[in-house]
Amino acid sequence: MTRLAVPLAAFAAFAVLAYAPAPAPTDTPARDLAPADTEWAWPEHAENLQVLPADIGADGLRDVMRGFTRSLGVRCGFCHVGEGDFLEWDFASDENHHKEVARQMMRMTQGINADWLADMEHLHVDIDAANPATFAVTCWTCHRGSSEPERVPPPHEEGGAPPAPGAPPAGHEHPPGQGHDHGAPPAGAPPADTSHGTTHTHGDGTQHRHDD
């Protein structure tokens, strides 16, 4: 059996810590996410749990679910079936396919941390495969508040990252076939390539080269 089979109780601790980076105080009323006209409360024994342990309890389940909503920027209906009064929701249902995707993502996250990062050298964090509280990758790592993670970096903005190595400095771009030298080369430098252009030396010692 691989280390992916971290005890479920330990994984529950990871889910609470990692998926809910800023959990609400434990004295917050359990029904504060429900519409005001209901008497719904977080269940102590949730049904149809396949990744989270059956004994996670109401507080643990609440913190994990809130962590999902914060990490993905979604609400309960993104994974569960129902609308309106929470008493009418079927939270145990697997009809919403996002629920199974969430389970797979939890297993994937657990595997990345326990089976890959835990064995990787020179990381900036110490990961203990047997201690999910030390895991470095969580839902928030990729989603950052969006149900669809960004796949490419944002476009370059003024004042952002420096140009790629070899790119001309800002304001020194020239059309193809045109270029110029910025003065005489330093001592010991190889001679300028004039096979495809002409270099003019001015009276002050500076040079100007243009393509033919």
> Would you place residue 5 in the very low, low, confident or very high pLDDT band (cuts 50, 70, 90)?
very low
Q: Would you say residue 65 has pLDDT above 80?
A: yes
What local confidence, expressed as pLDDT, does residue 15 receive? 57
What local confidence, expressed as pLDDT, does residue 68 receive? 94
- φ, ψ for residue 152, nearest 5 deg: -135, 155
| Residue 126 or residue 6, greater confidence | 126
Torsion over CA of 75, 80, 83 and 89, rounded to 10 degrees?
-130
Least confident of 15-24, 100-109, 160-169: 15-24
Measure the CA–CA gap between 77 and 89, rounded to whole angstroms: 9
What local confidence, expressed as pLDDT, does residue 165 receive? 64
Measure the CA–CA gap between 18 and 138, rounded to whole angstroms: 6
Measure the CA–CA gap between 135 and 132, rounded to whole angstroms: 5
The residue assigned the tokens 């003024």 is: 158
What local confidence, expressed as pLDDT, does residue 42 receive? 94
What local confidence, expressed as pLDDT, does residue 29 receive? 42
- Residue 124: which residues within 8 A CB-CB, separation 6 or more? none
Per-residue pLDDT tens digits for 116-158? 888 888 877 788 777 767 888 999 999 999 999 998 888 887 7
Per-residue pLDDT tens digits for 171-191? 555 555 555 554 555 555 555
What is each CA distance from 50 to 55, 100, 107, in whole angstroms?
12, 10, 10
Query: What CATH code is assigned to 8-143?
Result: 1.10.468
What local confidence, expressed as pLDDT, does residue 160 receive? 64
Per-residue pLDDT tens digits for 90-111? 999 999 999 999 999 999 998 9
Angle at alpha carbon of residue 20, lines to 11 and 42, rounded to 5°:
85
